Amino acid sequence: MSRGTLHLLHVCGARPNFMKVAPVMAAVETWNARSQATTAVGSSGAPVRFAQTLVHTGQHYDAGLSDVFFRQLGLPEPGYHLGVGSGSHAAQTAHVLERLEPVLLQERPHLVVVVGDVNSTVAAALCATKLGIPVAHVEAGLRSGDRGMPEELNRLLTDQLADLLFTTERGAGENLAREGIDAAKVHFVGNTMIDTLERLLPQARGGEALERLRLSARGYGLVTLHRPSNVDDAARLEALVVALRRIAEQVPLVWPVHPRTRARLGELQQVEPQQAGSGSAAPRLLLTEPLGYLDFLQLMDGARLVLTDSGGIQEETTVLGVPCLTLRTTTERPVTITEGTNHLIDPADADAVLQIVERILGREEDYIPCRPALWDGHAGERVVQAIADWFTIHEQRR
Ligand code: UD1
């Protein structure tokens, strides 16, 4: 590799990572194409070219949680697949550490890029840092304040290790400052997940998921649940299913079920929501397999409301202007409440959930799509420019 070529090694592992890494990889390709025509430069004027390698840890391995996303997002075939699979948090984290180390020793990248807050994120950041390889964290600084949430620990630790921290909202920079992280490392770039949404929304809108599921635009609600706090305890999950059934009496609900939740639902004998395709009348609570990115985006865009405990969906519904009821007591994405369409509701309070659903269904006027600062479809490009600048300074110091 020639001097002036910056080798990035991206690590992704679970469903919510794929839409965040894709725009960064695409922006690198654009940069390289441009640098062939002209000479793309870091802000200090030195030419920079990139090489990039993608590593898939295999934390998510089902076709429906992984392969379909690679295809639809246009991600390249990973250079390495670590095949870590499921397991306890310790086992999953340890397997990434163990299997990523030889890859990093062989590839010797200048920078490891990690995204989001899953176990693969923190494991890759730790593995690289221990080898003295700098780390960039895309989606840094988000904090729910709830250390009982596995992702919160992943976020805190990854940000302590990272050399470059890319934030999606201004509050994230304030969180990092409070934790003593040098402001020079922090770059407010916007939201790469929204880059992906922006790029693929026209294609999603032309899809046939609504027709296939016999749904009409604004005529249904969309549900996703997978947080351990909501689904791992049988009594809690059962109470949520009862609440969903009550909501479904007012508006039909579609629920693509995450494997974690599917396993727990199977344990609930008395709860038997209808499966997709069973019976001739459209069911009021329709369970489906996990959906691909384009189908899910079409469903989200057309929904009357969304009920979820996901992180990213709070942001996507904000941009789409679809009301989102987040069934959690905390959120790490406050801008979706202060500026967007998100409402935080304690999932243990079924009456409060019902009340807000009624309020939304009774509203005459539509919610308005909202774009928090820099959620403009160009975050990936800003990440790449900041990395090029960092590299130029880094090279000059060597
Ligand atoms: C993980 C992330 C979470 C993210 C979510 C999105 C962590 C701590 N959690 O949670 O932040 O929001 O992904 O989906 O990293 N399973 C399958 N097939 C798969 C993957 C998982 O059947 O392809 C099953 C396994 O039985 C596993 C369970 O789902 O035990 C949970 O998977 P895991 O990756 O541990 O966490 P998620 O709940 O998916």
pLDDT tens per residue, range 372-394: 999 999 999 999 999 999 999 88
d(CA 226, ligand 1 centre) in Å: 8
Find out whether 159 and 181 touch, Cβ atoms under 8 Å.
Answer: yes
- The pTM of the full predicted model, rounded to 2 decimals, is 0.95
Give the per-residue pLDDT at 348.
96
How confident is the model over 276-314, as pLDDT tens digits? 555 556 679 999 999 999 999 999 999 999 999 999 999
Q: Whose CA is nearest to atom 22 of ligand 1?
A: 259
Burial environment of residue 351 by CB neighbours within 10 A (0 to 12, 13 to 18, 19 or more): exposed
Reference 188, options 204, 174, 206, 200; nearest CA is 174
Is the C-beta atom of 149 inside 6 A of ligand 1? no
Give the per-residue pLDDT at 380.
98
Q: What gap in Å lies between CA 234 and CA 74, rounded to an integer? A: 38
Q: What gap in Å lies between CA 330 and CA 345, rounded to an integer? A: 9
Give the per-residue pLDDT at 365.
87
Residue to substitute in 12, 57, 60 for testing ligand 1 pocket (most ligand atoms within 8 angstroms of CB): 60
Helix (H, G, I), strand (E, B) or coil at 41: strand
State residue 384 phi and psi, 5-degree precision: -65, -40
Give the per-residue pLDDT at 276.
56
Is the C-beta atom of 227 inside 6 A of ligand 1? no
Reference 194, options 357, 385, 333; nearest CA is 333
Is the C-beta atom of 264 inside 6 A of ligand 1? no
- Residues of 273-305 as b/e, b for ≥16 C-beta within 10 angstroms? beeeeeeeeebbbbbbebbbbbbbbbbbbbbbb
Give the per-residue pLDDT at 43.
63
Q: What gap in Å lies between CA 219 and CA 304, rounded to an integer? A: 6
Is the C-beta atom of 64 inside 6 A of ligand 1? no
What is the amino acid identity at position 14? A
Is the C-beta atom of 332 inside 6 A of ligand 1? no
Give the per-residue pLDDT at 397.
73
Ligand 1 atom having least distance to the Cα of 312 = 12
Q: Whose CA is nearest to atom 16 of ligand 1?
A: 259
Write the CA distances from 118 to 69, 236, 244, 255, 387, integer angstroms.
17, 23, 27, 23, 22
How many CB atoms within 10 Å of residue 216? 11
DSSP labels, 160-217: HH-SEEEESSHHHHHHHHHTT--GGGEEE---HHHHHHHHHHHHHHT-SHHHHTT--T
Ligand 1 atom having least distance to the Cα of 85 = 20
Question: Which residue stretches of the chain have pLDDT < 70?
Answer: 1-3, 38-47, 268-282, 398
Q: List active site positions.
A: 226
Give me the residues paired with residue 53 across strands. Answer: 9
Q: What gap in Å lies between CA 224 and CA 252, rounded to an integer? A: 14
Task: Match 């390709």 to its residue by tokens.
Answer: 29
Helix (H, G, I), strand (E, B) or coil at 234: helix
Find out whether 172 and 149 touch, Cβ atoms under 8 Å.
Answer: no
Helix (H, G, I), strand (E, B) or coil at 283: coil
Continuous H helices in the chain: 15-37, 67-73, 89-107, 119-130, 150-161, 170-178, 192-205, 209-212, 228-231, 234-248, 259-265, 293-302, 312-320, 335-338, 350-362, 379-397
Give the per-residue pLDDT at 395.
76
Give the per-residue pLDDT at 36.
77
Ligand 1 atom having least distance to the Cα of 16 = 6
